[in-house]
Amino acid sequence: MSEITWDLFHSQVEACTLCPLCQGIHHKVPGQGDPASPLMLIGEGPGETEDLEGQAFVGAAGQLLTRMLEAISLPRDRVYICNVVKCRPPRNRIPLPEEITACRNHLRMQVYLVRPKVILLLGATAARATLGEQVRITRDRGHWEERKGVWMLPTYHPSALLRDPAKKKDAWEDMQSLRDKLTSLGLYPDIYGEAAKIP
Ligand code: SF4
């Protein structure tokens, strides 16, 4: 098997025709950010703006996500952001299970390359694709789960917060929990300090 590198990842995504989602798109949206970030954010799939620009989370939901990160003092360029599928589903529909399965290897490559310590799962699709179909986002958001040494936190997708601002209170609790986890793990010591670092 070839060595997994970022170049290989990007070339494989660019050439990928493994599912029908690549038909009619403007750009693949592999993801972007700090490639060695301790924190990875995974969403559902690219929307219209993302498809036009080839960047993840740059539309209205992405701008809200940037503000949510800033609210816990985290500059967006210090995290890695991607989606479960790299091509925009038509009319922003939820990706089908077979499309998520087809794209899973790309996501696995990203997790392998970034090697995050913490993953924030944005919305039901990302949470189910990562933690299992049993996840119910309204029930399970805010609950940490550790898998193979990686801490995972499901929360609402920012587009759900735009549709229903009443969810913002829970989302803020989740962001505070994320900040506390990053602090307790000694991650981002330049932002959160070293005091709580586990020896
Ligand atoms: S969504 Fe993923 S699997 Fe489907 S064509 Fe795009 S890159 Fe390939």
Residue 102 maps to a domain? yes
**Shortest CA distance to 52 belongs to which of 27, 85, 82?**
27
Residue 151 maps to a domain? yes
Place of tokens 């550790």: 146
Q: How far is the CA of 47 from the centre of ligand 1 (A)?
A: 14
Region of residue 102 (left: phi > 0; alpha: psi -120 to 50; beta: else): alpha
pLDDT attached to residue 1 = 56
pLDDT attached to residue 100 = 98
Residue 67 maps to a domain? yes
Please state, in angstroms and rounded to a whole number, the distance separating the CA atoms of residues 38 and 26.
Answer: 30
CB atoms < 10 A from the CB of 101, how many? 13
What domain range includes position 111? 6-184
User: CA 92, 34, 6, 1: dihedral to nearest 10 degrees?
Assistant: -100
Helix, coil or strand: residue 21: helix
Who lines ligand 1 at CB under 6 A?
13, 16-19, 21-22, 28, 85-87, 99, 102-103, 106
**Shortest CA distance to 57 belongs to which of 6, 67, 93, 169?**
67
Residue 136 maps to a domain? yes
Atom of ligand 1 nearest to the CA of 22: 5
Number of domains in the chain: 1
Residue 195 maps to a domain? no
Residue 75 maps to a domain? yes
User: How do the pLDDT tens digits run along the chain, 199 residues long?
Assistant: 579 999 999 999 999 999 999 999 999 999 999 999 999 999 999 999 999 999 999 999 999 999 999 999 999 999 999 999 999 999 999 999 999 999 999 999 999 999 999 999 999 999 999 999 999 999 999 999 999 999 999 999 999 999 999 999 999 999 999 999 999 999 999 999 975 444 4
Alpha carbon nearest to ligand 1 atom 3, residue:
103
Q: Give the side-chain half-sphere CA count within 13 A for 120.
A: 26
Residue 193 maps to a domain? no
Residue 191 maps to a domain? no
What pairing do the DSSP bridges indicate for beta strands 150-155 and 118-122?
parallel
The CATH number of residue 109's host domain is: 3.40.470.10
pLDDT attached to residue 195 = 53
List the structure tokens of 39: 């924190």
Summarised one tens digit per residue, pLDDT across range 90-143 is: 999 999 999 999 999 999 999 999 999 999 999 999 999 999 999 999 999 999
Q: How far is the CA of 157 from the centre of ligand 1 (A)?
A: 21
